[in-house]
Amino acid sequence: MKALTDPAPGDTDGGATIYQVAERADVSIATVSRVLRGTAPVAAATRARVEAAMAALRFTPSRLGVSLAERHHAANGIVFPDLSGPYFAEVVLGYEEVAAEVGRSVLILSTHGRQAAREMVLDLAARVDGMVVLARTVDDEVIAEVLGKNIPVVVVARDRVRGADSVNAENEHSAEALGAHLAAHGHRSFAFMGDPEISADAYHRWTGLTRALRAHGVNVPQRPVACPFDEDGGREAAAVLLGTDPPDALVCANDEIALGAITAAEQMGIRIPDDLAVTGWDDVMAARHSRPGLTTVRQPMRQLGAWAARRLHERLGGDTSAPRHEVLPTQLVVRASCGHHNKEDR
Amino acid sequence: MKALTDPAPGDTDGGATIYQVAERADVSIATVSRVLRGTAPVAAATRARVEAAMAALRFTPSRLGVSLAERHHAANGIVFPDLSGPYFAEVVLGYEEVAAEVGRSVLILSTHGRQAAREMVLDLAARVDGMVVLARTVDDEVIAEVLGKNIPVVVVARDRVRGADSVNAENEHSAEALGAHLAAHGHRSFAFMGDPEISADAYHRWTGLTRALRAHGVNVPQRPVACPFDEDGGREAAAVLLGTDPPDALVCANDEIALGAITAAEQMGIRIPDDLAVTGWDDVMAARHSRPGLTTVRQPMRQLGAWAARRLHERLGGDTSAPRHEVLPTQLVVRASCGHHNKEDR
DNA sequence: TTGTAGGCGTTATCAC
DNA sequence: GTGATAACGCCTACAA
């Protein structure tokens, strides 16, 4: 009796097929498909037989078969440069969360700045119905190629690309506010760390900062100090910068650079914020816990991912309206690293 | 002329098929497939025609078709509870990196402690050739189910599961070393924060700690203080604990809990490490930058993911040997939060 | 060297 | 209600 209800010992492989279920229930595969999808009425008795057969065989429909027939993957992709910093991890998390909610699997792809990025993205494009592209992982042409295959893409933390939706956190005004705050502290000589050539975010932050400085009659630095967006990048670039002509204030494109810079400064005996003000961007966990607390700009990382996922879902639902370009608000978080404040100095 | 080499305007959809290429090149689909895969010799002239046709049509073979025919996905999955902390993000990153290297796409699934975890994992199982499961995201039965479908799984940061490979960072000895260090500082009353019921890592750390305390003749706390593995969890639990009977030393299951506990302590006017020693686990970025620096245990998060990816790849390559159980070494990182040191107090 | 035809596992359209 | 059967897009013996 037992042997009858258990899966055949021989079928060691990827599971039973709809044919085996049909045979066991003594119906056609069409009927099995019907009870599976509830797409048409099936007699109660028949349904029961089919369900019993499915259970006995531990039948799970092949995603490949289903997708091929339905002509879509029920999966989306997301490509980012790296997951090492807290920033991208948060965006991806926000993305995954709503993608899962609306029933789509998510494929990730980290380009790591590899040369093969284009091929990797194109390969990804063959596995998904839509995808989101973070920052400058690939050129606009690659995105155009993907769009050309009729798979929608939404870009995040990146300038607009023809034909794609986009979400960004507000940058210029936030940078202006930050610059104004620093100027009000009396800082007169500035430096900006981060690479505007590589990051649209950094570019706009640099732009906003310079505008603020100009408005406040403060000298604008010649150019940004380009450096990788991590602690080491910040530390090394700061070591050089502070060794030659140290500014009063160091505005960094993200918290990691800032934290790295602070490390370098402390090693050189430079006190923060007395000798040097330092600010970051993102408000990661370490920014809260460092001493002095890091003045920074908080941006809604989770929401960036969530918005992208929702928009993609709309597109895949048939929305063919003009691309939308969302800008999410940020928040200046003033702590101690930007200089002494009058009241509660914390 | 142009119209001839461009893709037909009508074929707006998911791209050309092998049939269209074949027709255009005036060969059979078999030949197209051969030039695609290099699986058999093709006359130079023929190959040229086919390649021209592919280029003109911007042909990309359908992953679905390929996978269905080849009977595998060329993709792996990874399931984790959440990506919010630095820990899982690092593991996933390490995983993705080597998975990509060996040419497999990666699908991620965050269970968020959702009830539907089982269904989600089973759904994932239908889309991949193998998968890694982090921590206690799902019950052993679910893993058994997946294994039953003949898809290999390797578990990470989790106790062994019959039939699956596993990688873990060393826990007990590290915890013993940490406990010994704290005892040497003279601390006599301990508390442990984290939930051993939920995390195998936490369980083994608790075990190691109690053993060390016993060995040093120090009172062993009745039980761990269960709390969520994030800052809020640490902060709230610590607020209660420190309000009633504060210990000398607080050993936390990860850095986030520790940092949260420190925040709570400071708000209560308790000084670290003078009044209370606090230690974490993981050595995340914030641990380095907090003041006092957080004493912690560094574990090779990236490598955990990388090992899992490599092992999975071996399995998928046909390795059917007995499950392997790897334990990666950790490193005690002593900073200031565990108490004053004689020499360089940093 | 190249073509024919069957198979991979579903869905969905027709008839009955 | 149910059952044939044609897609879906590709791979691969087997023939020629």
CATH code where residue A42 lies:
1.10.260.40
Residues B261 and B314 grouped into a single domain: no
The whole-number average pLDDT for the span A202-222 is 97
The whole-number average pLDDT for the span A9-35 is 85
Query: What is the pLDDT tens value at each position of chain B, 346 positions in all?
Result: 333 334 443 344 568 999 999 999 999 999 999 999 999 999 999 999 999 999 999 999 999 999 999 999 999 999 999 877 889 999 999 999 999 999 999 999 999 888 899 999 999 999 999 999 999 999 999 999 999 999 999 999 999 999 999 999 999 999 999 999 999 999 999 999 999 999 999 999 999 999 999 999 999 999 999 999 999 999 999 999 999 989 999 999 999 999 999 999 999 999 999 999 999 999 999 999 999 999 999 999 999 999 999 999 999 999 999 999 999 999 999 999 999 886 443 3
Residue of least CA–C1' distance to D12 = B30
Residues B157 and B197 grouped into a single domain: no
Chain B hits for A83, Cβ within 8 Å: 89-90, 92-93, 96
What integer pLDDT is reported at residue A245 of this predicted model? Answer: 86
A285–chain B nearest CA distance, Å? 6
pLDDT of A306-330, one tens digit each?
999 999 999 999 999 999 999 999 9
Residues A95 and A210 grouped into a single domain: no
Please state whether strand D lies within 7 Å of residue B33 at its CB atom: yes
Q: Is B230 a member of any domain?
A: yes
Which residues numbered 52-111 in chain A sit less than 7 A from strand D, measured from CB? Answer: 68-69, 71
Q: Give the whole-angstrom CA distance, residue B275 versus residue A241.
A: 40
pLDDT at A7 over 90: no
The whole-number average pLDDT for the span A207-211 is 98
What integer pLDDT is reported at residue B10 of this predicted model? Answer: 38
CA of A30 to C1' of C16 (A): 15
Please state whether strand D lies within 7 Å of residue B37 at its CB atom: yes
| Tokens coding B255 | 């850095």
Residues A131 and A228 grouped into a single domain: no
Which amino acid is present at B210?
A: T
Residue B7 to residues A72, A129, A144, B33: CA-CA distances in angstroms?
22, 21, 15, 20
What integer pLDDT is reported at residue B342 of this predicted model? Answer: 62
Residues B200 and B313 grouped into a single domain: no
Strand ranges inside chain B, DSSP E: 75-80, 105-110, 130-134, 153-156, 165-169, 190-193, 249-252, 277-279, 296-298, 325-328, 331-333
Mean pLDDT rounded to a whole number for chain A: 93
pLDDT of A123-153, one tens digit each?
999 999 999 999 999 999 999 999 999 999 9
Residues A203 and A316 grouped into a single domain: no
Q: Are B335 and B185 in contact (CB under 8 A)?
A: no
pLDDT at A100 over 50: yes
Whether A73 has its CB under 8 Å from any CB of chain B: the answer is: yes
Residues A98 and A29 grouped into a single domain: no
Number of domains in chain A: 3
Residues B186 and B134 grouped into a single domain: no
Q: Is B196 a member of any domain?
A: yes
Residues B98 and B214 grouped into a single domain: no
- The band of A9, judged by pLDDT with boundaries at 50, 70 and 90, is very low
Whether A123 has its CB under 8 Å from any CB of chain B: the answer is: yes
What integer pLDDT is reported at residue A82 of this predicted model? Answer: 82
Q: Which nucleotide is nearest to B33 (CA to C1')?
A: D11
Please state whether strand C lies within 7 Å of residue A70 at its CB atom: yes
Residues B119 and B151 grouped into a single domain: yes
Q: Is B89 a member of any domain?
A: yes
CATH number of the domain bearing residue B216: 3.40.50.2300
Q: Which nucleotide is nearest to B62 (CA to C1')?
A: D9
Strand ranges across the sheet with B325-328 = A325-328, A165-169, A153-156, A130-134, A75-80, A105-110, B105-110, B75-80, B130-134, B153-156, B165-169, B325-328
Q: Are A167 and A304 in contact (CB under 8 A)?
A: yes
- The band of A162, judged by pLDDT with boundaries at 50, 70 and 90, is very high
pLDDT at A4 over 80: no
Nucleotides of C under 7 A from a protein CB: 1-5, 7-13
Task: Indicate the burial class of A140 (C-beta count within 10 angstroms; 0-12, 13-18, 19 or more).
Answer: middle
B198–chain A nearest CA distance, Å? 21
Q: Is B13 a member of any domain?
A: no
Q: Rounded to 5 degrees, what angle do the CA atoms B110, B115, B118 make? A: 70
Q: Point out the domain boundary residue: B29, B53, B69.
A: B69
Residues A165 and A55 grouped into a single domain: no
For A137, the domain range is 75-169+301-329
Q: Point out the domain boundary residue: B69, B90, B108.
A: B69
Q: Point out the domain boundary residue: A34, A69, A104.
A: A69
B108/A109 Cβ within 8 A: no
Nucleotides of D under 7 A from a protein CB: 1-5, 7-13
pLDDT at A12 over 50: no
Chain B 128-167, CB below 8 Å of chain A: which residues? 148-150
- Percentage above 90 pLDDT, chain A: 91
Q: Is A336 a member of any domain?
A: no
Measured between CA atoms, the residue of chain B closest to residue A93 is B83
Residues A161 and A179 grouped into a single domain: no
Q: Is A283 a member of any domain?
A: yes
The whole-number average pLDDT for the span A16-36 is 97
A291/B286 Cβ within 8 A: no
